[in-house]
Amino acid sequence: MPPLPRSIAHLDMDAFYASVELLRYPQLRGLPAVVGGRRATAAEDPAHFPRLRDYVGRGVITTATYEARALGVHSGMGLMKAAQLAPDALLLPADFDTYRHYSRLFKAAVRDITPDLEDRGIDEIYLDLSALNPDGSREGARAIALRLQQTVRDATGLSCSLGVAPNKLLAKLCSDLEKPAGITVVAADDIPARIWPLPAKRINGIGPKAAERLDALGIHSIGELAAADPLWLQEQFGARYGQWLHQAAHGQDERPVVTHSEPKSLSRETTFERDLHPRQDRNELSQRFTRLCEQLAADLARKGYVGKTVGLKLRFDNFHTVTRDLTLPTPIGEAAAIRRAAGECLKRVLLERRIRLLGVRVGNLARRDAIPEHETPLPVQAELFV
C-alpha cells in the first residue's frame, strides 16, 4: 500500500474575508482588524477607520486578521466582547458580493488543475488528487499542494492552506495545522504523532455539546478518544454516533469527494443592527425585504435555478423564530415574484414584537433551462412590508 492510498486535499483560504479586505486596503497589513457589520465607505487613512472600542451594537465578527486573532478575538464572537479584548483593532464592514467574486476566482483556478472538486462553501473545497499522485507519495502530494497554492495566489493575490491525507476527515484536520499558507501531508502512520495530541473537538462532526460531554467523561484529546472502548462510546452517545466517534479518532473515513450535487434550496437573511418595529419601521423593513429578494433572485439566476417553494424566516426581539412556506403551482426566480410569495407568507405571521432577523428562501429547485418558457410566471408588483 502507498503512504496515501487516496490523496484527498482540503483547501482552506486563509482569513478569507479579512484577506480580501487587505487587497482593498493594503495599508492595513500587519494591523489587527476584524470584519463585521454592514457595508459602508471606509477611510483611506488607517487612523480614520473605526475602532472596535467605538462600536455599539450586537454585530458579530465574520473573520479577523491573524494579528487580531493573536489578541483573542475570533469569528462568531460578538463585536462588543471583542472590543474588550482588542479595543484598538480596526473594524471593517463586510462586502459579501466581493467575497463571492474572489471565491469564484480561486475555485475556477483550482479546476484548471483538477476537476475533482467538492465545493464546501465560500472559502473551502475538497479535492481528490489521487489521479495526479498515482504512487501516493508524500513528496508528490506536497508538490501538487504547492502548485495549487501558487495557482490560487496568481489568480487572486490570496493565500490558502492545504491538508493532504487519505481521506476528507484527516485532510480537514490537517489544513488548519500550519496556517497561514501552510501545507500538511499526513498518512495513516502519522496519526499517533500528528493527530492524537489534538483536542477532540477539532474533529469536524464533534460539536459543542458533544465536546462538552466528552470533557465531562474525561476525554479531551483525539488520542484519548481513540483509546476509549468503542462499546462504551456507543453506550454514552448512541450506537451510530458512538461508532463514528471511534472511527473518526482512528482517522477512518471512506466518504468520496462529491464533485456535483444539486442544492435543495437557496436563501438570504440579515440580522438588523437594531430591532425593527413592524409598523414604526415599516418602510425600512420593506426596503430590506425587497433587497433580500433581489439578492436571492440574483443568486438563483447566477446558479441557473428556479423554485416552487418560497419560505420566510423571522426572529423577534425575544429570540423566538418563526418560519412560513408557500408552494406555488409553477417555479419562480424573479425578485418581484419571490417578494410577492414571501409577502403572502408574512401575512400568516402575527407581528406584535420588534424584528431582529429577516430571511427569505426558495426551495423545491429545478434547473431554469429545464422549465418550459410558458411555465415561468411574469414578474409581479412588490408590496410594502405588511
Specify the pLDDT at position 378: 40
Is 209 a domain residue? yes
Residue finishing a domain among 30, 62, 96:
96
Specify the pLDDT at position 260: 81
The domain that holds 76 is classified in CATH as 3.40.1170.60
Per-residue pLDDT tens digits for 190-240: 999 999 999 999 999 999 999 999 999 999 999 999 999 999 999 999 999
Specify the pLDDT at position 373: 57
Mark whether 279 and 360 lie in a shared domain. Answer: yes
The answer to whether 174 and 184 have CB atoms below 8 angstroms apart is yes
The domain that holds 228 is classified in CATH as 1.10.150.20
The answer to whether 159 and 149 have CB atoms below 8 angstroms apart is yes
Is 155 a domain residue? no
Mean pLDDT computed over 28-51: 73
Residue 46: pLDDT band with limits 50, 70, 90: low
Nearest CA to 49 among 31, 23, 65? Answer: 31
Handedness of CA 293, 298, 301, 302 (dihedral sign): negative
Q: Which of residues 212 and 42 earns the better pLDDT score?
A: 212
Per-residue pLDDT tens digits for 84-132: 999 999 999 888 889 999 999 999 999 999 999 999 999 999 999 999 9
In what side-by-side order are the strands of the sheet with 160-165? 117-119, 124-128, 8-13, 160-165, 183-185
Mark whether 290 and 354 lie in a shared domain. Answer: yes
Is 164 a domain residue? no
Mark whether 58 and 33 lie in a shared domain. Answer: yes
Chain centroid to CA 279: 34
Mark whether 270 and 342 lie in a shared domain. Answer: yes
Q: Which residues contact 59 (CB under 8 A, 6 or more apart)?
A: 36, 37, 78, 79, 271, 273
Name the residues annotated as catalytic. 124
Q: DSSP code of 221?
A: B
Cis peptide before 180 (omega within 30 of 0): yes
Give the SS3 label for residue 232: helix
Mark whether 65 and 41 lie in a shared domain. Answer: yes
Residue finishing a domain among 204, 225, 249:
249
Is 113 a domain residue? no
The residue range of the domain holding 228 is: 196-249
For the chain, what's the residue count?
Answer: 386
Grid cell locating 134: 498515482
The domain that holds 309 is classified in CATH as 3.30.1490.100
Is 234 a domain residue? yes
Handedness of CA 183, 189, 194, 196 (dihedral sign): positive
Q: How many domains does the chain have?
A: 3
Nearest CA to 199 among 249, 161, 165, 241? Answer: 249
Cα 78 to Cα 80: distance, rounded to the nearest angstrom: 5
Per-residue pLDDT tens digits for 344-385: 999 999 999 999 999 999 999 999 887 665 444 444 444 556
Is 107 a domain residue? no
Is 102 a domain residue? no
Residue finishing a domain among 66, 96, 126:
96
The full DSSP string for 288-343 is HHHHHHHHHHHHHHHHTEEEEEEEEEEEETT--EEEEEEEEEEEE--HHHHHHHHH
Mark whether 231 and 290 lie in a shared domain. Answer: no
How many CB atoms neighbour CB 350 within 10 A? 7
Mark whether 228 and 305 lie in a shared domain. Answer: no
Model pTM score: 0.78
Is 169 a domain residue? no
Per-residue pLDDT tens digits for 162-171: 999 999 999 9
Mark whether 240 and 276 lie in a shared domain. Answer: no
Mark whether 32 and 56 lie in a shared domain. Answer: yes
Mark whether 241 and 277 lie in a shared domain. Answer: no
Nearest CA to 356 among 57, 63, 148? Answer: 57
pLDDT averaged over every residue in the chain: 91
Specify the pLDDT at position 44: 53
Mark whether 273 and 363 lie in a shared domain. Answer: yes
Grid cell locating 63: 473573520
> Checking DSSP bridges between strand 265-276 and strand 321-332, what pairing results, if any?
unpaired
For the chain, what percent of residues have pLDDT higher than 90? 81
Per-residue pLDDT tens digits for 312-339: 999 999 989 999 999 999 999 999 999 9
Specify the pLDDT at position 93: 87
Q: At residue 360, what are phi and psi to the nearest 5 degrees? A: -130, 140
Residue tagged 418595529 (cell numbers): 277
Mark whether 273 and 226 lie in a shared domain. Answer: no
